[in-house]
Amino acid sequence: MMVADEPDRQRAVDRLDLRSKRGADGLQEVVERAARLASTPIGAISVIDRTRQWTIAQHGPMSEDIPRALSFCAHAIHRPGEAMIVPDAARDARFVDNPLVAKAPPIRFYIGIPLVDRAGYPLGALCVIDHKPRDQMPDLYELAALAREAERIVTRRH
């Protein structure tokens, strides 16, 4: 799944060299706070590249990179400014056949908030993940504030 301005978005990702931000000061704290706020075992900041999702900060067990075709965050970047909420991935047509939903431990609950650069290009997402479906949502305003903090870190020039 590609974004409408995919070539320009990809140039924004390349220009910021976001894979080099892995372990950048502050990102680990953001994902830990996000997971704590959402009471989820996993929090992550991902970058959506041409064909892969790269995790540049994480709390809890998660692959550092996966194919873009399997990425939940690759869906989240299509609506910058909006949280993508998946209460139960096993009941969501976009993800029901996704191997990450079928394998153990499964992704069942997901919230992703797109990380956007100053020009408006979505670079990736701050996400929280649980292995159980959820009806109760964490405070989305607080998660969005954490996403803005992550944006400031990833878009900062060295």
Can you read off the two tokens belonging to residue 100? 């990450």
Report which residue type is found at 50.
R
The beta-strand segments (E) located in the chain are: 42-48, 52-59, 65-67, 84-86, 109-116, 122-130
> Confidence band (pLDDT; 50, 70, 90) for 130?
very high
CB atoms < 10 A from the CB of 117, how many? 18
DSSP H helices in 50-157: 73-76, 99-102, 140-155
> Confidence band (pLDDT; 50, 70, 90) for 54?
very high
User: Domains of the chain, with CATH numbers?
Assistant: 6-155 (3.30.450.40)
- Chain segment 3-14, per-residue pLDDT in tens: 668 999 999 999
Is the pTM here over 0.85, yes or no?
A: yes
Angle, helices 27-38/140-155, rounded to nearest 10 degrees: 170
